[in-house]
Amino acid sequence: MEALSLLELNSLVRRSLEQCLPNEYWVQAELSDVRSNTTGHCYLEFIQKDPRSNSLVAKARGTIWSNVYRLLKPYFEEATGQAFVSGIKVLVQVTVSFHELYGYSLTVQDIDPTYTLGDMVRRRREILKQLEEEGVLSLNKELEMPDLPQRIAVVSSATAAGYGDFCHQLKNNPRGFFFYTELFPALMQGNIEDSILAALDKILSRREEFDAVVIIRGGGATSDLSGFDTYLLAAACAQFPLPIITGIGHERDDTVLDSVAHTRVKTPTAAAEYLISCMSLAADELEVLANRLHEGVFSLLEEQRKKLAMLKNRIPSAAFKRVSEAKLALLTVRKDIFQSVTASLSRQRHRLELLQQRLVDAAPEKQLARGYSITFKDGKVVKDASLLNAGDELVTYLEKGNVLSVLKEKRP
């Protein structure tokens, strides 16, 4: 039996593969261990996992030569907004090759970004669905934005141009509104999830000091947007107790973070303009209320002035009426008093006449005329004979004349 050297066997494998697989093939796979060197070549691994167990079921070494990689990478990232890094699913056009020393590999010739976009959309949809099932998807959107959002917690990179634009726009707003901003630094490129979550935790511990949170990026590669499509970051923002405004600086499809935030704008400058518009709306409403108050007070004063003028004009006639009524009342009272006094005098006169008649009837002269006599002793009427003594001088008055007598003896 003739033996083959390893090189001969590998050469046989190479020729066999070249004959059996001479064409280019579109392959679906997940990127792993993506790295590039100074020559511009990109070396990576393509893997496939079991959807249920997540264990590897296939793996192949891949190469993208520099002349292809320098065109393919920016094209893919611009189209998808996703960095060409490990962990993403791609649809690539490859040729199959086998090298006697390096073994089996796939050489990438082209890539279809729409496949990755579909996978990204699917992942976003899955995250949003999970948040909806948990009942937190729209919690931040349901928060009421304060009428005067002046105290702003900013999550951004301290060196980002967008942060400077945001602060400049707020400070130089045309109506001179005051805004207090405080920066909570966070990474806006690369592994941004942990950094932003840490910033949000710091804001949460001081939430009473702020009216709203602004997450701004401003500029940067569109390939960095994938960091805003994570479940943990979306869940934290969706359940945050302060309204969150995102201005991540892109006009393409919304990220998951944009979808759960209270308000999504395109740029940091637009975020500042949104806050200024909230203040302007409140100021306009206050101005309308102030004008309504001014008009209402003026109208009320005018109404009261007219009322006072009307009352002033009614005073003479009212006074004349009251005087006339008083005069009539006085005449009525005078008449009543006169009649009352007349009646009282009449009654008293009648009474006096009766008393006078009784006095006349009771007068001594009247009694004497009836045959009665009156006896006086020392000028006093004698009523009790037992009080008289012998020798007392008595004067007895009759109707006509009187009799002077001396008591001789006293009788029982």
CA distance 230 to 117: 15
Task: Please state, rounded to an integer, the average pLDDT across all residues of the chain.
Answer: 87
Identify the three-state secondary structure at position 354: helix
Query: What is the structure's pLDDT at 367?
Result: 73
Please write down the HEC assignment for all residues of 287-328. Answer: HHHHHHHHHHHHHHHHHHHHHHHHHHHHHHHHHHHHHHHHHH
* pLDDT over threshold 90, residue 379: no
Residue 148 structure tokens: 């005067």
The secondary structure element, H or E, covering residue 263 is strand 263-265
pLDDT at 171: 93
Higher pLDDT, 118 or 131: 131
Q: In the chain, pLDDT over 90 holds for what percent of residues?
A: 41
Select the more confidently predicted residue: 385 or 67.
67
Model confidence at 251: pLDDT above 70: no
Which is higher by pLDDT, 121 or 48?
48
Handedness of CA 68, 70, 72, 73 (dihedral sign): positive
| Per-residue confidence (pLDDT) for residue 221, from 0 to 100 | 56
Q: What is the pLDDT of residue 203?
A: 96
Q: Mind listing the pLDDT tens digit for each residue in 284-294?
A: 999 999 999 99
Task: Provide the β-strand partners of residue 165.
Answer: none
- The residue among 305 and 407 whose pLDDT is bigger is 305
| Residue-wise pLDDT tens digits, 350-360 | 888 888 888 77
With H, G, I as helix, E, B as strand and everything else as coil, classify residue 358: helix
Flag whether pLDDT at 219 surpasses 70: no
Which domains, and CATH codes, for the chain? 6-111 (2.40.50.140), 133-281 (3.40.50.280), 366-406 (no CATH)
Q: How confident is the model at residue 313, as a pLDDT? A: 85
pLDDT of residue 106: 93
pLDDT value of residue 224: 62
Q: How confident is the model at residue 323 (pLDDT cuts 50, 70, 90)?
A: confident
Higher pLDDT, 137 or 394: 137
409 compared with 185, residue with greater pLDDT: 185
CB 257 within 8 A of CB 233: yes
Res. 119: pLDDT tops 80:
no
Give the whole-angstrom CA distance, residue 269 versus residue 277: 12
Residue 44, pLDDT above cutoff 90: yes
In the prediction, which pLDDT does 262 show? 94
Indicate the range of 87-91, 171-175, 198-202, 356-360 predicted with least confidence: 356-360
- Per-residue pLDDT reduced to its tens digit, 18-31: 888 888 999 999 88
Nearest by Cα to 237 from 254, 252, 224, 221: 254
